[in-house]
Structure 1
Amino acid sequence: MKRSLSYALICVIGLTACGGSSDSNDSSGGDTTPPPVIPDGLVRCDIQTELNQVATTSAVTFYIEDNYLARQPGAIIVKLSEQNVSDFTFNWTQMSGPALTLKSIKSPVLAFTASESGNYKFELSASKSGVNYTESIEINLGAASTNQLSARVDHQASTGNSVSFRVDTPDTNGPSQISWCVAAGPSLSVDISTPQKALLTAPSVNVDTISTLRATAVINGEAVTDDVQLLITKEAAITSPYFDERVAKTFAYNTDSPYKNDLQPCVYSNQLLQSCTISRLPLIGQTPGIDKQAILDRVLVSHQWMGENFEHFLENLDPNSDFATLLQSVTAIVISYDVRPSFYWVVTGAIYLDPNDLWLLAQERDTINEAPDYRSGFGNDLNFLMPWRYVKNNSYTSYVIPRGVRTDRTTEEMMPDLASLLYHELAHANDFFPRSVHGDLIGPTLLDDYLRRSDAEQLVSDQLIAFYPLNSQEMTNLAEVSFKGQTASDSQKAYTAADITSFFSPDRASDYYAYSTRREDAAMLFEEALMSHRYAIQRDVAVTDKPDNPTASSITVDWGQRGRIGDIKLENRAAFVINQIMPELNGTVLVNNLPAPIEMKQGQSWSDNLTISPVNGPQLNRIAPQTSYSPELRLSGDRHVKPVD
């Protein structure tokens, strides 16, 4: 599995990654095309780039560009003589010049875009056990030019990491005729099938190596270029049977954490050979009380801003301490630019978060890798669709502005996607290890305790099915096709939307994906109930036809509901899950107070069924007003790689 888990091993133990967000704006709704064929090698530029080397009295050498311009991305790169960059931790401090927004201060590559020309000075500290270097560098930025191309973002990547670069394409004065070439470093196989972005895998290197790609385009009739730098770092060989593809370099967000030396080797390492013991990395909640600092002690990040935003979220956007409470059942929180989609994994006990759900500034979004998340195309032979969306005040709540539009966003725009993701993934963690059992865990690893509890059918989701089973065998069988890759039978291929309505609507699942496994059944109930309870955000679900090239306006609703979690058929099931995971909420009262579901209008499109809620006066406080960008069509299960089993 890309960036994370050895597929064979995770299937053996019955667990796979789940969750996540996608940063694409296509309308595939989960059906995917094969990855593009990448040419053997990107053409070399006619003129090669040579960075200037600035030696110091220590092992540090700075690599700087010939010319830096205001309003154009630039970088300063550090290499260490006869030493590997990956063995060191870094910290950059701006010493002089107009203040910059710096989002890679813990990297050997300092990326920046200055709005003003002038002289800038930076100090670098590099350290590993017993070795410390402190050096400074000054650069001068010239005035911005009239027609200026911007390629982003310069960064470090370990050999074998997925890498992405992007050219800014503003709506006005945007570039045309974009092309790419290799301006320095090793030959590269690069996917430029979408010209504004270049996707590649960092090649194997024997020493830390700088690679330069050059973007060329036409702006206002003028040919312009911009170089973007990649420092490819030498890494130890991959020995982990779990993380069997290269993961990003990460570090403990809290440098004073008592677990700072345990986080990376236990939860995100290409050398992880077996689960760490509970005595080495216990669940956060195995220490009494809900201490937000204890949570921050377990945060592992690839960029400092990811930890800062997560801390801001805990301190300011969790007023009821829902997430602080739910996080008691994980060992760590991993936030890395190469995690996509988000997931929880019992082998490490950690939750892995896609930073697409946490960025606030355009400079933060720049640092997130755009390597495609090729999702399963299971279920293509079926003749129906089951779309979903979250809505409030008859409007979508998900963030829809595409990556190509470089803009900041507010916490109000960030929260709906992040909250629904966390409720779902943390429901899995609390299904496996609710707080009520923390004192009974005996290890030696969490995986050992999980296997014992699962074999005895003691998980919350096991009890849910025992007390309140789902009834539709047809939907269960269809879920095997849609979410697990079983071949559809002729009768399944012949099912119409009306057939699916007759199977699904009388049953007591909140979503089609709930039929994939009992674990997903419980997580979907919890997610939808808490989103409605805490944010008055309701989930739409429907059964529609399946035209060629389906879009929100082209699919026709046969049946659908807004806020299905409030249906009386689901009340006991949702209340049971809530009471087991967060008994302090009183699941019965919570569910009884949820709004009754609103029926969709049969025969109208999915798009036309957006405005079915009653409007009482002006629609104030609309969530995420995001201009005219169209939300993608989302289909059941499309946030998930494969259901947790």
Structure 2
Amino acid sequence: MGMSVSQKMLALVACSSLLISCGGGDEDSNNPNNGGTTPPSVSLLRCTDNIAPLIITTSSSIRFQTESTYTAGQSSAIIANIPNRDSQSLSFLWQQIDGQNIELVSQNSPVLAFDIPAAGSYRFSLHVTGNNLDVTGEIDINADAAIGMLNARQDHQVVEGNNVSLRLGQQSGLSAANISWCVASGPDLNVDISDPFRPLFTAPAISQDTLTRLKVSANISGNQHKDDVFVLTTAAPAISSSYFDTPVARTYAYRPSSPYANVLSQCVYSNQLNDSCTINQLPLIGQTSNDLNHETILDRVLVSHDWMGDNFAAFLTQLDPNSDFARLLQSVTAIVISYDIRPSFYWVVTGAIYLDPNDLWLTPIQRDTINEAPDYRSNFGNELNFMMPWRYVKNNQYASLSVPATARAYRTLAQINPDLASLLYHELAHANDFFPRSVHTSLAGPRLLDDYRRRNANKSLISDKVSTIYPLSSTEMTGLANVSFLGGAANNLQKTYQPSDVSTFFSTDIASDFYAYSSTREDTAMLFEEAMMSYRYQILRDVAVTNKPAVLTADTLLIDWGQRGRIADDSLENRAALVIDEILPELNGISLIESLPEPVAMTQGQSWRQALAISPANRQLKSLNNTAVNDSTPRFEPELRLSGDRHRHPQQ
């Protein structure tokens, strides 16, 4: 699996104003980890006990490779190939035709990955198409009763040079010790095993599709247990793009019948993209239809896995009662959802939004397909002496359902709604800042990029109006944002700032969040996101300035200053109303802002956890999770969120 869009592409554009909601290094850097640390990697040893692969031929040209045994409850795989042909120009479609129903999440990959629900026989068919190729094959497997203690997830296909993450699971209540990984077959690998439950590595350079089999062993209750995991590294054409100049995941049109199916990938997520597509090739959705038709929107969805499109479609159909997102999506050319996008962003070069699928998964096996490589900005700001956490709350409880990666939990659409809605409000605010519906008919092209440059030169963007009429004034916060979000080096004065200093800088200015200081574009997006979450969902955003303890928990973060629902502060009212009026003119901005609940101040010295219960309607601390969570859903400690952690952002 891969991390983010492309590391070099990010470094190329992070120093421009074109990539919005992104993080970046400086102009001379080719590595967005600038300012962070690179995890240690070690060369994995070769396994001593190798088992020859089981190859099954069919009456067609399809050849299957299977595991030596299949066991109920285990993550498993079947790998398909066409002899003497790489998979990069081929299309795959798997179907289950016999056996207890299995949730399939990689139907369009040469690697069919699945969890076997029970012992028994299973049968699958595979249809492969490509240039002068249209073949079908079938494969049977038999699964034994469950005996496994370890479960290495998830077998998958990855483009050479992409980043890969794996996840080791174990039976509930048991603890694995002495975990060891080795390469059973395939090329040598350098792997970050600092967390042996989540190995990370870069897929090696190869000349043809190459299968790697990794083996993990561990001691559980005094006994040795083992499992295998397969990673198919696939060859790809030489990279020619100056935009996407490191590998990106394979993606495809979610709707194969879309009139834009043949141009979506090449225009918005391709290593061959050398120039922006024209408006004639891929116009904004609103330039072709303004009737808010979901089918028109779904024709612009590009995915790495079908489930991502399925869940996005369900969200639009079931959880957009006011058509906010259908309207806001009129200002994008495409919606890209891929396992290697982290975090989310909008990019004016393509006119598309790129969504991290972590906000969309509903089942454990869907989540298994998402890359876990850490955000490259995680060490930015290490030399500063304060933190600015945030969270969304409702009725003195966390609005979001927190589920650690180690848990095999399910989520409902209602449970992903707070996170996905806030993400979409933010990223689509960028798209509408650049190309609001009011300008769609006047866009001259030939590329959106040309229209952006004209609008930017004239200071015609919504964010330009906001920053001109209601500018932020704290130069100190702007400097600190450069360190925290862009990887700039902290100067000696910034290193001396204490939480009390930052509280004064921030609380006396008119930003809704620390992240707003990273750019005028982010300032506008943060205003819109927080206002809409409060108005539509009665979900309020907490923001605070705290200490920086050695161990970060909700108990060790102590508040120097904090506020709930800052968007309704009188000092922010006019600038927030302006953003609402410009992006969603159907709403009355000033009336909307005035209808929001008054901000609630946090108490200095309280912990972040204690401050959860500050809303006057209900001061008693209840559950740490959303009330929408049913009793069968496990309850977990919510993760700590720090300002700007969900988005990438530009260096202007």
TM-score tier (shorter)? over 0.9
Once the two structures are superposed, what CA deviation does each residue of 1:103-158 show, in whole Å capped at 9, x if it has no partner?
Answer: 1111111112222211111111000244211111111112222x432111111111
Q: For the structure 1 residues 479 and 173, does the alpha-carbon distance in structure 2 shift closer, same or farther, using more than 3 Å as the test?
A: closer
Aligned partners of 2:325 and 2:424 also within 8 Å: yes
Structure 2, gaps ≥5 residues long: 24-32
2:361 corresponds to which of 353, 359, 363 = 359
In structure 2, the partner of 1:265 is: 266
Aligned partners of 2:344 and 2:648 also within 8 Å: no
Output the amino acid matched with 1:330: V
Q: For the structure 1 residues 610 and 230, does the alpha-carbon distance in structure 2 shift closer, same or farther, using more than 3 Å as the test?
A: same
Counterpart-to-counterpart distance in 1, 2:102 and 2:35:
40
1:636 corresponds to which of 616, 631, 643 = 643
In structure 2, the partner of 1:60 is: 62
Output the amino acid matched with 2:367: R
In structure 1, the partner of 2:304 is: 302
1:122 corresponds to which of 124, 131, 140 = 124
Q: For the structure 1 residues 143 and 548, does the alpha-carbon distance in structure 2 shift closer, same or farther, using more than 3 Å as the test?
A: closer
In structure 1, the partner of 2:458 is: 456
Aligned partners of 1:266 and 1:276 also within 8 Å: yes
1:51 corresponds to which of 50, 53, 56 = 53
Counterparts in 2 of 1:595-610, with a 5 A limit?
A: 595-610=597-612
Q: For the structure 1 residues 86 and 31, does the alpha-carbon distance in structure 2 shift closer, same or farther, using more than 3 Å as the test?
A: closer
Residue 9 in structure 1 maps to residue 38 in structure 2 = no
In structure 2, the partner of 1:176 is: 177
1:622 corresponds to which of 613, 624, 627 = 627
Counterpart-to-counterpart distance in 2, 1:494 and 1:623:
43
Aligned partners of 1:19 and 1:425 also within 8 Å: no
Tell me how far 1:327 sits from its aligned partner. 0.8
Tell me how far 1:301 sits from its aligned partner. 0.5
Counterpart-to-counterpart distance in 2, 1:322 and 1:161:
35
Once the two structures are superposed, what CA deviation does each residue of 1:78-117 show, in whole Å capped at 9, x if it has no partner?
Answer: 0111211111111111111111111111111111222221
Output the amino acid matched with 1:444: P
Counterpart-to-counterpart distance in 2, 1:381 and 1:65:
49
Aligned partners of 1:375 and 1:641 also within 8 Å: no
Residue 97 in structure 1 maps to residue 99 in structure 2 = yes
Which deviates more, 452-461 or 79-88? 79-88
Aligned partners of 1:169 and 1:404 also within 8 Å: no
Tell me how far 1:503 sits from its aligned partner. 2.1
Tell me how far 1:318 sits from its aligned partner. 1.1
Counterpart-to-counterpart distance in 2, 1:487 and 1:206:
40
Counterpart-to-counterpart distance in 2, 1:97 and 1:267:
39
**1:425 aligned counterpart, secondary structure:** helix
Aligned partners of 2:15 and 2:650 also within 8 Å: no
Which deviates more, 59-68 or 520-529? 59-68
Counterparts in 2 of 1:231-250, with a 5 A limit?
A: 231-250=232-251
Aligned partners of 1:510 and 1:564 also within 8 Å: yes
Counterparts in 2 of 1:122-521, with a 5 A limit?
A: 122-145=124-147, 147-289=148-290, 290-375=292-377, 377-521=379-523
- Say how many residue pairs are matched: 634
Output the amino acid matched with 1:534: R
Counterparts in 2 of 1:570-589, with a 5 A limit?
A: 570-589=572-591
Q: For the structure 1 residues 448 and 192, does the alpha-carbon distance in structure 2 shift closer, same or farther, using more than 3 Å as the test?
A: same
Tell me how far 1:617 sits from its aligned partner. 10
Q: For the structure 1 residues 592 and 19, does the alpha-carbon distance in structure 2 shift closer, same or farther, using more than 3 Å as the test?
A: farther
Counterpart-to-counterpart distance in 2, 1:583 and 1:350:
22
Counterpart-to-counterpart distance in 1, 2:634 and 2:395:
16
Q: For the structure 1 residues 2 and 101, does the alpha-carbon distance in structure 2 shift closer, same or farther, using more than 3 Å as the test?
A: closer
Tell me how far 1:346 sits from its aligned partner. 0.5
Once the two structures are superposed, what CA deviation does each residue of 1:319-359 show, in whole Å capped at 9, x if it has no partner?
Answer: 11111111111111111111111111011111111110100
Q: For the structure 1 residues 318 and 539, does the alpha-carbon distance in structure 2 shift closer, same or farther, using more than 3 Å as the test?
A: same
Amino-acid identity (%): 55
Counterpart-to-counterpart distance in 2, 1:16 and 1:377:
21
Counterpart-to-counterpart distance in 1, 2:619 and 2:579:
36
1:36 corresponds to which of 15, 39, 43 = 39
Q: For the structure 1 residues 470 and 194, does the alpha-carbon distance in structure 2 shift closer, same or farther, using more than 3 Å as the test?
A: same
Aligned partners of 1:49 and 1:212 also within 8 Å: no
Q: For the structure 1 residues 322 and 55, does the alpha-carbon distance in structure 2 shift closer, same or farther, using more than 3 Å as the test?
A: same
**2:545 aligned counterpart, secondary structure:** strand
Aligned partners of 1:401 and 1:629 also within 8 Å: yes
Which deviates more, 192-201 or 530-539? 192-201
Q: For the structure 1 residues 317 and 230, does the alpha-carbon distance in structure 2 shift closer, same or farther, using more than 3 Å as the test?
A: same
Which deviates more, 310-319 or 164-173? 164-173
Tell me how far 1:495 sits from its aligned partner. 2.7
Q: For the structure 1 residues 121 and 144, does the alpha-carbon distance in structure 2 shift closer, same or farther, using more than 3 Å as the test?
A: same
Aligned partners of 2:20 and 2:430 also within 8 Å: no
Counterpart-to-counterpart distance in 2, 1:631 and 1:33:
25
**1:609 aligned counterpart, secondary structure:** helix
Counterpart-to-counterpart distance in 1, 2:185 and 2:618:
61
Q: For the structure 1 residues 323 and 360, does the alpha-carbon distance in structure 2 shift closer, same or farther, using more than 3 Å as the test?
A: same
Aligned partners of 1:19 and 1:424 also within 8 Å: no
**1:85 aligned counterpart, secondary structure:** coil
**2:501 aligned counterpart, secondary structure:** helix
Aligned partners of 1:91 and 1:106 also within 8 Å: yes
Output the amino acid matched with 2:436: P
Once the two structures are superposed, what CA deviation does each residue of 1:498-547 show, in whole Å capped at 9, x if it has no partner?
Answer: 22222221221101111221101100000000111111111111122333
Output the amino acid matched with 1:641: R
Tell me how far 1:76 sits from its aligned partner. 0.9
2:77 corresponds to which of 75, 78, 81 = 75
Q: For the structure 1 residues 52 and 492, does the alpha-carbon distance in structure 2 shift closer, same or farther, using more than 3 Å as the test?
A: closer
**1:136 aligned counterpart, secondary structure:** strand
Counterpart-to-counterpart distance in 1, 2:482 and 2:610:
31
In structure 2, the partner of 1:27 is: none
RMSD: 2.1
Aligned partners of 2:343 and 2:646 also within 8 Å: yes
Q: For the structure 1 residues 31 and 624, does the alpha-carbon distance in structure 2 shift closer, same or farther, using more than 3 Å as the test?
A: farther
In structure 2, the partner of 1:523 is: 525
Once the two structures are superposed, what CA deviation does each residue of 1:568-599 show, in whole Å capped at 9, x if it has no partner?
Answer: 11111111001100110211111110000001
Aligned partners of 1:169 and 1:175 also within 8 Å: yes
Output the amino acid matched with 2:567: I
Counterpart-to-counterpart distance in 2, 1:485 and 1:386:
16
Tell me how far 1:271 sits from its aligned partner. 0.9
Output the amino acid matched with 2:205: S
**2:314 aligned counterpart, secondary structure:** helix
Output the amino acid matched with 1:122: F
Tell me how far 1:552 sits from its aligned partner. 2.4
**1:379 aligned counterpart, secondary structure:** coil
